[in-house]
Amino acid sequence: MRWLIISLLAFGLFQGAMADSIRSKINKGNEYFKQGKYEQALAQYQDALLDDPLNEIAIFNKGNAFYKLKKYKEAIDAYQKVVGSENLDLSAKAFYNIGNCYFQQNKLKESIEAYKKALELKPDDYQAKYNLELARAKLKEMADKQQQQPNQQNKNIEPSEFAKKLKEQAEKLVDQRRYNDAYQLMMDGLKKDKTVAAFRNFIQRIKDVVDILGSQET
């Protein structure tokens, strides 16, 4: 029994020394991180993980170092290992940082989902709320630009004389309420002359009328 007690005591001392060593490496990594020495910080966190591969703080901080080095994929991989943590605060921060990684890569839909998950765990996180709205606003802005781009391209097209005369003919057909004929005239002209695309909005308006009337002329 005496030897067992000594052995257990020695094991406890070993465990304590190991924990101190891991903590020391993480703290040294944090010091490097604060100094902007992210490569050195990363090395310390990885060294700590050699001793304790499941250490969530080292994994999380490793993700932070990757993020600062703009290695977003590696950062996300690190944070993903923490999101299931029993420490809900740490898990929420990991989701928040994943959102930031996606945002930096312009993957806005993914970033929005990550911010939402962060808020599910920590509803009062004002920074996550702010970034969520920022990502949503940027996504909407991009969608609006994509929608406006074809119209902007059409504005830059200089219609030929053929295209102008064709539009005049189509307008006369519209005045006669011959919408289907007007639409077909413009579409046939578009096949012959690409500059007819300058009147794309005009063509679309005619098509809308044709669709409403079921292509039946009066």
Query: pLDDT tens-digit profile of 166-192?
Result: 889 999 998 888 888 989 998 998 888
What span, in angstroms and rounded, lies between the C-alpha atoms of 178 and 172? 9
Residue 12: inside a domain: no
pLDDT at position 205, please? 85
The domain boundary residue, chosen from 107, 136, 156: 156
| Whether residue 43 is found in the same domain as residue 98 | no
Asked if residue 189 belongs to a domain, the reply is yes
Is 5 a domain residue?
no
Residues 168 and 138 in one domain: no
For residues 32-60, one letter each, b for 16 or more C-beta atoms within 10 angstroms of the residue's C-beta and e for the rest, the string is bbeeebbeebbbbbebbbeebeebbbbbb
The model's pTM: 0.63
> 4 or 192: whose pLDDT is higher?
192
Mean pLDDT of the chain: 84
pLDDT at 212: 67
**Alpha helix locations (H) across the chain?**
2-34, 38-51, 56-68, 72-80, 88-104, 108-121, 126-155, 161-175, 179-192, 200-213
Report the alpha-carbon distance of residue 70 to residue 159 in Å, rounded: 47
Domain encompassing residue 192: 161-213
Give the per-residue pLDDT at 218.
30
CATH code: domain of residue 76:
1.25.40.10
Measure CA of the first residue to CA of the last residue in the chain; give whole Å: 107
Q: Are residues 71 and 110 in the same domain?
A: no
pLDDT, average across residues 23-39 = 93
Model confidence band, residue 90 (pLDDT cutoffs 50, 70, 90): very high
Q: Considering the domain boundaries, does residue 7 fall inside one?
A: no
Question: Taking Cα atoms as reference points, which of 208, 211, 217, 167 lies closest to residue 189?
Answer: 167
Residue 26 has pLDDT above 80, yes or no: yes
